[in-house]
Amino acid sequence: MELIFLGTSAGVPTRSRNVTAMLLDLQHPTRGGLWLFDCGEGTQHQLLHTTYHPGKLDKIFITHLHGDHLFGLPGLLCSRSMAGNANPLTIYGPAGIAEFVETTLRLSGSWTDYPLEVIEITDGQVFDDGAYRVIARPLNHPVECYGYRIEEHDKPGTLNAAALIADGVRPGPLFQRLKQGETVELEDGRMINGQDYLSAPLPGKTLAIFGDTAPCPGAHELAQGVDVMVHEATLETAMEEKANSRGHSSTRQAARLAQEAGVRKLIVTHVSSRYDAHGCKNLLAECREVFANCELAEDFTQVSV
């Protein structure tokens, strides 16, 4: 999986940072998959600076309905339609997202020429297609807000073809069934269990992407043991009380969550516009004092999961 940050500023854009949006390229060998998490104003403009096209998007996940996470959505939906794209798109988000999409399209005299489904989520599993599962948990913010945990299902182990041949099983269609862990009957009447010839399953990748939040129990559930955690760090540690009063986290709180949850890598984003490049270096230093394997995302930062 590849994560591409399209916007990393909190509240308002700056000269160097747009407001929140993240692309997740699943890079699945057969099904592909391009997902967008949040869609702040100007997201479609940011996409123009990448190799990705809006028509390739098949899912959009909105964390909450504050404008810096949402106001780019109507334009993106309309541009996708005007390009003549017919690929279906599903939007997930909190209560009110369906009304927002329907109202903005209706009042602007706009429409979509592709199948569009809008699903309003609650706490729990959002979907599971057999390859990936997405779980949502409510966060601590003034409006209904969610974080998302993306889990890739474990991949089957490698089939030991040499051992099968040594046991008298000839290569052919049976190998494919055995690779799926099935039990098959050979021509001589023997029963062969594919599980006996498979190596251990390959663990799938895990990723947690947070909306805006002050520390809360749901955050620990989302973050537990993930390969990469994307978390806001709106303000420095000295302004922690102010951050929390507005439903945000400080650098230290984001890093402490990563440490306590046993994540492998922390990416902090959603940086207040009060911080220039020097200020951002200080934010990152504060995070690394608590959790060393941490990066502060810039617009167009790419992270492999």
**Is 270 one of the annotated binding-site residues?**
yes
Q: Is 154 a catalytic residue?
A: no
Annotated catalytic residue, options 68, 129, 167, 188 = 68
Q: Which candidate, 278, 277, 282, places its Cα nearest to that of 299?
A: 277
**Is 45 one of the annotated binding-site residues?**
no
Alpha carbon distance, N-terminus to C-terminus of the chain? 5
Q: Which candidate, 253, 169, 155, 164, places its Cα nearest to that of 204?
A: 155
**Is 69 one of the annotated binding-site residues?**
yes
**Is 141 one of the annotated binding-site residues?**
yes
**Is 49 one of the annotated binding-site residues?**
no
What span, in angstroms and rounded, lies between the C-alpha atoms of 258 and 232?
Answer: 12
Looking at the annotation, which residues are catalytic? 68
Mark the binding-site residues, compressed into ranges. Answer: 64, 66, 68-69, 141, 212, 270
Binding-site residue positions for Zn(2+): 64, 66, 68-69, 141, 212, 270
